[in-house]
Amino acid sequence: MSKDNPTLIESATFPRHVIAEIQRAAKTGIYDIRGFGAKRDIPTFDDLVFLGASTSRYPLEGYREKCTTEVVLGNRFAKNPIHLKTPITIAGMSFGSLSAQAKESLGRGASLAGTSTTTGDGGMTPEERGHSKTLVYQYLPSRYGMNPDDLRRADAIEIVLGQGAKPGGGGMLLGQKISPRVAQMRNLPEGIDQRSACRHPDWTGPDDLQIKIQELREITNWEKPIYVKVGATRVFYDVTLAVKAGADVVVVDGMQGGTAATQDVFIEHVGIPTLPAVRMAVEALQEMDMHRKVQLIVSGGIRSGADVAKALALGADAVAIGTAALIALGDQSPEYDEDYKAIGSAAGFWDDYQQGNDPAGITTQDPELAKRLDPKLGGRRLANYLNVLTLELQTLARACGKSHVHNLEPEDMVALTMEAAAMAGVPLAGTEWIPGKGGM
């Protein structure tokens, strides 16, 4: 119903944004491609709350009693596992989708906060390697910029099988972002629409993946932890197969995970939310007696220390952030309100990362726009944000009486909705009822 005219009733089936999309499709003849992640309302970690300590258990004193946050990733087979100060890592984002300055900022911020950052499609840039104390090298289907020297320069290798924003889909980098440097790194002509393959070119299925992992270990002297990243769909089976193939670490990316450029229909309609994905992954690890032996990193819509704490309480070893990290650098900043308006958007709504005209100078290859992001300042902002998340995480863990954030457990939480209770496998608040699992 319109606020100005109560006799005007908006259709629930055809609200204005649906009508606008039909009109846009009819006009252009192409599906909507955009960045960011799923925008629809789905069950999230917000639907869970912690049961702080009281009579039956005691909390830890903030600022007085230790609540440690260190995490070790990849100690199953790798000679040199990763040691991080905080269980909040930076997810893979490519040079190409992001400017070199943005990649440098991510490296600087992660290093200041004592955590890792990750390359993306298109290979490793010297700026990124130089400013990242701990750098995870993504091994992607396109193999753009894939170089064994970089593989050996990395601290860990992440084999990407899928991404939460588009499980089953490949990447896109539209022509306007294929600058001479990006084209050279990817061995493609400038200005073409670059398609990244949706599956790896030299294997099919989990048995082959096991051999691929063996090859990567042989090439890197069994030193580097090998992560396997999947988009959240059939999480139980995917995690089981990744572990059987020999992964040191499994990364599960829920449907809220961000992307630089994907069809809107893919972002909003493929994959499952992060909330059930964590539980399913943990169940798979527990069934194999591999929980905490193969580490689990969860990503997709992580925004606050509360999200981190809830993911960890459900059994994750660490989380990864992407969209939130870009926002920390300056994405969606009201400082650029006029520029957002000029391209038909607004701070807080902008999602056309594929266009390359990012007012904040982050998701662009335009040298003038890219100059707007000072990598030192960007790095400082990201480090501040990561530190806040870690402090929030510790606050919640101490409230539950935990001396290490990994001591958080599902039993520390209840759900506010039946959906969240069923997805996360924790009881509905005020009951012992977990839908699908019995209780009262």
Partner 1 sequence: MTEINLDNKSVRELNEKLQSASSGDKFSVTNTGGKHAVSVGLISAVNVDINGHVGYYCAGMNQQAKIKINGNAGPGLAENMMSGEVRVTGNASQYAAATAHGGLLVIEGDASSRCGISMKGVNIVVGGNIGHMSAFMAQSGCLVVCGDAGDALGDSIYETKIYVRGKVKSLGADCIEKEMRDEHQKELKQLLKQSRMSYGVDEFRRYGSARKLYNFDIDQVDDY
DSSP state of 299: E
Q: Are 356 and 364 in contact (CB under 8 A)?
A: yes
Residue closer to partner 1 (CB basis): 212 or 402: 212
Other C-beta atoms within 10 Å of 191: how many? 14
CB of 138 to partner 1, least distance (A): 14
25 vs 22: CA distance, rounded Å = 5
88 vs 114: CA distance, rounded Å = 9
CB of 206 to partner 1, least distance (A): 14
CB neighbours of 52 closer than 8 A, spacing ≥ 6?
Answer: 59, 399, 400
CB of 187 to partner 1, least distance (A): 4
Beta-strand relationship, 172-173 and 194-195? antiparallel
189 vs 171: CA distance, rounded Å = 17
Residue 160 — φ and ψ, nearest 5°?
Answer: -95, 115
Residue closer to partner 1 (CB basis): 197 or 416: 197
**HEC string for 58-78:** CCCCCCCCCCECCEEECCCCC
Residue closer to partner 1 (CB basis): 204 or 431: 204
Residue closer to partner 1 (CB basis): 39 or 152: 152
CB of 133 to partner 1, least distance (A): 25
Residue closer to partner 1 (CB basis): 69 or 194: 194
Residue closer to partner 1 (CB basis): 203 or 236: 203
CB of 214 to partner 1, least distance (A): 5
Residue closer to partner 1 (CB basis): 189 or 367: 189
Find where tokens 């991404």 sit: 163
202 vs 184: CA distance, rounded Å = 23
CB of 212 to partner 1, least distance (A): 7
Q: Are 230 and 161 in contact (CB under 8 A)?
A: yes
Residue closer to partner 1 (CB basis): 53 or 151: 151
Residue closer to partner 1 (CB basis): 142 or 274: 142
Find where tokens 């599960």 sit: 252
CB of 29 to partner 1, least distance (A): 4
Please report which helix (H) or strand (E) contains residue 245, including its range: none
Binding site for partner 1 (CB under 8 A): 28-30, 142-143, 146-149, 151, 175, 187-189, 191-193, 195, 197, 201-203, 208, 211-212, 214-215, 218-222
> Three-state DSSP class for 321?
strand
309 vs 169: CA distance, rounded Å = 30
Q: Are 236 and 280 in contact (CB under 8 A)?
A: yes
CB of 148 to partner 1, least distance (A): 4
419 vs 402: CA distance, rounded Å = 27
389 vs 385: CA distance, rounded Å = 6
Residue 247 — φ and ψ, nearest 5°?
Answer: -65, 145
CB of 96 to partner 1, least distance (A): 15
Residue 42 — φ and ψ, nearest 5°?
Answer: -135, 160
Name the nearest CA neighbour of 229 among 284, 297, 293.
297
Residue closer to partner 1 (CB basis): 60 or 197: 197
CB of 197 to partner 1, least distance (A): 7
- Tally the residues of the chain: 440
Q: Are 367 and 361 in contact (CB under 8 A)?
A: no
Please report which helix (H) or strand (E) contains residue 36, including its range: strand 33-36
CB of 254 to partner 1, least distance (A): 28
Residue closer to partner 1 (CB basis): 23 or 403: 23
